[in-house]
Amino acid sequence: MEYRLLGRTGIEVSTIGFGAAPLGDVYGHVDAGEAMAAVQEAIDSGITLFDVSPYYGRTLAESRLGEALVGRREKVVLATKCGRYGVDEFDFSAERITASCEESLKRLRTDYLDVLQAHDVEFGDADQIVEETIPALRRLQEQGKARAIGITGLNLKNLRAIASRAKVDCMISYCRCNLMVDDLDDVLMPFAKEQGIGIINASPLHMGVLTEHGVPEWHPAPMEIREAGRRVVELCKAHGVSAPLVGLRFCLEHPYVSSTLVGMASRELVQANLKALSFRIDPVLLAEIETTVAPVHNRIWPSGRVENQG
Ligand code: NAD
């Protein structure tokens, strides 16, 4: 396993991070025992970063992860979120953020978080995030409840705009640095580097677009994007490799991203994804993937409030 520092937080994270959204049955039903085994396998393999949220399966993912981490808490960098609780349920008030942190601590069976981030800030009022949410996170940090604080979201300009008004330690950007979309470097990365903000890149498989299984029902991508993903999956198969392996490896090659969060809930997927550490992408295949993706390259779907797009 390889490790990198998360910006200037002093926290070291594994370059492959365990995305725990699937533990909340977000991508289909998961066997609880297998989910526990996946967490154990990941820890035994050197994965340290575990990312979850109360939103994933309406607290199910946090509860399962908490159970799986009993006796192993000190081996991991535990990251959760606050402010998002359902598809359309958001509350970024200081009061809710503070209560949410306590609830997450209980479910995760710990007395501190390594990272606590406001979840999908483009759904909130930017002034509230800057003036109320981030200050509330800072107070929790001062109380020792979270070692680092930050924001997450899809819209890069919105993340940058918020972080330029209220300092954060780290951010999660998702679906903006993978084989389908790679504008993270254009919009957010120069700012993040300059400010020393740690960047975690989530959804290397474009939330299932780059898998044989395909996307879950809730996936927001239009049909053209899903079809392009399907063609990439077929192309990789024709080259004798799996698209997830290529997709994850592509992300791991980013020089600044601290960790790439990939969603997994079985030992089999943990083992498959670890192979990306030593895998090399055939440049011929990569060029063919680029051509395949070209018609939808960097096309993203709207997310959040109208004023927070971009
Ligand atoms: P992803 O791109 O990691 O895709 C997950 C899907 O791919 C799941 O169905 C999983 O079973 C499948 N998969 C994973 N490895 C595979 C393999 N080797 N072979 C075949 N299928 C494989 O999407 P994600 O899970 O949404 O993103 C990763 C994590 O990032 C999440 O679990 C979550 O922790 C985090 N995340 C955060 C935000 C945010 O903060 N706003 C948004 C998205 C994701």
pLDDT grade for 243, boundaries at 50, 70 and 90: very high
| Predicted local confidence at residue 310, as pLDDT | 84
| Predicted local confidence at residue 152, as pLDDT | 98
Mean pLDDT of 177-182: 98
Q: Which two tokens stand for residue 65?
A: 């992860």
| Predicted local confidence at residue 34, as pLDDT | 96
- The residues annotated as belonging to the active site are 56
Mean pLDDT of 210-238: 96
| Predicted local confidence at residue 37, as pLDDT | 97
Residue 237 and residue 218: Cα distance in Å, rounded? Answer: 26
| Predicted local confidence at residue 71, as pLDDT | 96
List pocket residues of ligand 1, CB cut-off 6 Å: 19-22, 27, 51, 119-120, 152-153, 172, 174, 202-208, 211, 244, 261-264, 269, 272-273
The closest of 205, 61, 52, 81 to 152, measured between CA atoms, is 81
Sequence-distant (6+) residues with CB within 8 A of 18 are: 38, 39, 42, 47, 49, 50, 51, 261, 262, 264, 270
Check whether 195 has a pLDDT greater than 90: yes
Q: Compute, in angstroms, the gap from residue 87 CA to the centroid of ligand 1.
A: 17
